[in-house]
Amino acid sequence: MIALLIRDMKLAMRAGGGFGLGLSFFLIVTVLVPFGVGPESTLLAKIAPGILWLGALLACLLSLDRIFALDWEDGSLDLLATSPLPMEGVVTVKATAHWLTTGLPLCLASPLFGLLLSLPAEGYQWLVASLVLGTPALSVIGTFGAALTVGLKRGGLLMSLLVLPLYVPTLIFGAEVARRGAEGLATTTPLLMLAGITAGTIALLPFASALVLRVNLR
Amino acid sequence: MGSIWEYANPVKFIRTSEIVLPWVSILATVTLIAGLVWGFFFTPDDYRQGSTVKIIYLHVPAALMAINVWFMMLVTSLVWLIRRHHVSALAAKAAAPVGIIMTLIALVTGAIWGQPMWGTWWAWDPRLTSFLILFLFYLGYIALWEAIDNPDTAADLTAVLCIVGSVFAVLSRYAVNFWNQGLHQGASLSLDKKENVADVFSTPLYVCIAGFVLLFIALVFLRTRTEIHKRRTKALLARERLG
């Protein structure tokens, strides 16, 4: 399992433009927002938590098809399926690698982007906390979407259609934590809900992903 | 009378549905016409809402069906995954377009009703939002069926999507509740509450709901039969090409 994790991380980092592409996308979205809505810092401060969460979500979505597509094409997915590692384990490792290469950098870089959108000072810790808690769910749900559409040509658009509705609860609670944090309100309830969603998806969704992956490899 | 699983045999299903379908269709037509005519022309106007209240005869049954069709798809998907009855998977496929149209009717009639009553076509109210999300789930489900060539793979993948989607749809439903109660009223047709819609309005409404349910049953029968026939034609063509 660890070998697979290391392999996936190396592939993501060395294959041109894989690693950091999500981060650059996040940066571009953040930079474009003031062009769209105007540079008033009061308005930006108000919408910053939501925009940052949306940006993180889209950056995550952008890199999902990399999870299985390359392994599917060169046949290494078949090898993984016949390896002693159960499919659920493969899927979990894939999701973890995806989170380490997209979710974690996004979390670490988000305060910087918050600065660009004049996020209030109280908001930073809550923004980072909500992203750290929420982005694993995004990776796990995304892995499910990627597993569903792995056999399809031009599955990218369909995958967005399938995955984005599944992101709704995570987005609602994640953005709520960040917003309440920025406004100095109590954040415990949405934070717990967010953590619950993440824990639930990590525990259950790999089984569904493994199931559809097996169907696709049949 | 054998077990219910006998009807999972496509031949048996086709034969039974051939007998049942005309009756259900006639019954659906009669009930729908009766309910809608009764509701539209023979009920008094509401003293506050005027005649816009009559949208209820389309809005409530459609909304009810939108959710229950998804629930039926969930059950048939589970049956497919567990017992591998093809008719079950095809019934889920047949129901989805009906469900999405019901969701659309509920959303559109709701908007038309909301405009004079709330002064807005759309609000990010929990109920409205969750219906929009349900609409997206239907879209994704149908798109996945369309995208996959192999029918068994498609049935498997859409069934899993339906189950996972159900969990997330319920989650979203309660997540949007988090914002506020919103503009939409609570349930006013429950069996266990004292204050309900007045009988003059609710009796034709029940007739309309029955009509929508019958219409749905008729459509699913019809569409499932079409799917079975389509599959058979495909098999015959393939055999001809070989022989």
Give a three-class secondary structure readout of B182-218: CCCCCCCCCCCCCCCCCHHHHHHHHHHHHHHHHHHHH
Q: Which amino acid is at B124?
A: W
pTM of the shown model:
0.88
Are B160 and A162 a contacting pair at CB < 8 A? no
Q: Does B126 touch chain A (CB under 8 A)?
A: no
- The number of residues making up chain B comes to 243
B129 within domain boundaries: yes
CA B166 to chain centre: 14
What distance in Å separates residue A190's CA from the closest CA in chain B? 9
What's the pLDDT band for B51 if we cut at 50, 70, 90? Answer: confident
- The pLDDT score that the predictor gives to residue B182 is 60
B191 within domain boundaries: no
Number of domains in chain B: 1
Q: Over the stretch A6-16, which tens digit does the pLDDT of each residue have?
A: 777 777 766 65
Answer for the pair A76, A101: CB distance below 8 angstroms, yes or no.
no
Collapsing DSSP to helix, strand or coil, B46 comes out as: strand
- pLDDT over 70 (residue B187): no
Answer for the pair B151, B235: CB distance below 8 angstroms, yes or no.
no
The per-residue pLDDT of chain B, averaged, comes to 86
- pLDDT over 90 (residue B213): yes
Mean pLDDT of B66-83: 92
- pLDDT over 80 (residue A128): yes
Q: Residue B46 phi/psi, 5° resolution?
A: -70, 145
Are B175 and A144 a contacting pair at CB < 8 A? no
- Minimal Cβ distance to B148: which of A144, A152, A168: A152
Range of the domain at A29: 2-217
Answer for the pair A154, A147: CB distance below 8 angstroms, yes or no.
no
- CB contacts, 8 Å: B168 with chain A: 165-166, 168-169
Q: Over the stretch B189-211, which tens digit does the pLDDT of each residue have?
A: 655 555 566 677 788 888 999 99
Which residue carries 């159900």 as its tokens?
B166
The per-residue pLDDT of chain A, averaged, comes to 86
Range of the domain at B27: 9-181+198-242
- pLDDT over 80 (residue A169): yes
Residue A18 neighbours by CB under 8 Å, 6+ apart:
A11, A12, A63, A66, A101
B22 within domain boundaries: yes
B188 within domain boundaries: no
B73 within domain boundaries: yes
What's the pLDDT band for B223 if we cut at 50, 70, 90? Answer: very high
B190 within domain boundaries: no
Q: Which chain A residue has the Cα nearest residue B174? A: A169
Q: Over the stretch A88-109, which tens digit does the pLDDT of each residue have?
A: 988 998 899 889 888 888 898 8
- The pLDDT score that the predictor gives to residue B186 is 64
Mean pLDDT of A76-85: 84
Number of domains in chain A: 1
B151 within domain boundaries: yes
What's the pLDDT band for A84 if we cut at 50, 70, 90? Answer: confident
Q: From CA A14, how far away is CA A140, in angstroms rounded?
A: 23
